[in-house]
Structure formats: C-alpha cells, structure tokens
A and B are shown apart, each in its own frame.
Chain A
C-alpha cells in the first residue's frame, strides 16, 4: 500500500498569511493526488485534483504543486473562511489512501 505522510499536523496562522501544507508518498504517484478541505460537521470538499488542477468554483488563492512523491497545497493569502482541516488523497494504486490531515487554526 502507498503510505501518505502529511505535514504539519497543525498549523497556526493569521489572515493574510501564506500557508503551505506538504504530502509525501511512499511511492511515486504520477500526479494522482487530490487535496480536500473539511470543516467541522461537513463532508470534505475537493479543492485540487490531479495534483495541480483547481476544482471549479474554488478560489484561486488555492494552488497545488509537486510531482513524484512530494506534493504541496498552498494558500496564497489565508482568508477567514479557510480555517479548516486539509487532507491529501492518492489514487495511483487500486488501494486509495488519505494523509493524516492538517488543521489550520487561528494564531
């Protein structure tokens, strides 16, 4: 199975900050990686698909990058609505796996 290591587990930031979250895979993913945002009591929401593609309707301050085994989600200027938990998920194998999550909270 492909293991996903997401870091940091918690990130304290202020409105306007640039935020970066990293996901590392135990094997190459061929860009089959997605990023989600989840708020308490809600289903995850797809932000980025296939590593770097912005899902329709998602603000352009969100971006995804990376290749091989290391991928990054960047929020260019954190907004009040962005305080949430973020997950990566890989689809490169028949057995899909999520990262452990990164909670972005108020500094």
Chain B
C-alpha cells in the first residue's frame, strides 16, 4: 500500500461544475496536509494547507480533512479551463518537514 494514494485520472469535469479530488494516507501520525497544483512543464504551486479536521475554504477551493478515515479532499467550485492541471496531495508527520506525495490526479476542465 502506498503511503499517499490518489486516483491518477484523468478526471474530466465540465466548466462551471464542481471538481472533487480525493486522497488517502496510511500513516496515522500524519499531521499536515497540502494540495499543490502543477501545470505541465512547471513546478508545483501551493493551493491549500489544512491541519485540523473539517473544512477549510479559500475562494473557489475547499479542503476537507477527516483524520479518523485518513482522507483529505479538495473541491474546486465553478471549475474553469485554467484549473486543468495535475493536483498533488502531500502529507507530513508532526515535526518532519519532509513531504510524502501522492502520484497526482490529472484534472481536465472541458469548456
């Protein structure tokens, strides 16, 4: 079992709809959770960080964390073609700055 798992996709969503990206992790002592967006040929860009159970909203993005079920998700509302990218879920333990990345989900927003 991989430490951090994501559906590799591709995930296709029509423009204006909600895109839902999911991530599960195996290490129960994981403490910090991050979503990065990576456009083709570019480096990752931080979208959201979440540390506590529940929802965290930032503009069109909402991160959801459920430590009991060991999953973290990212919702993108009113999806735009510019949201088309690979989304990376990353997890770290308390006190450890090293990140464990999922393999990424490729998202395509169709106009």
Instruction: Note whether A and B form a binding pair.
Output: no
Could you list which residues of chain B lie within 8 angstroms of chain A, going by C-beta atoms?
Answer: none
Could you list which residues of chain A lie within 8 angstroms of chain B, going by C-beta atoms?
Answer: none
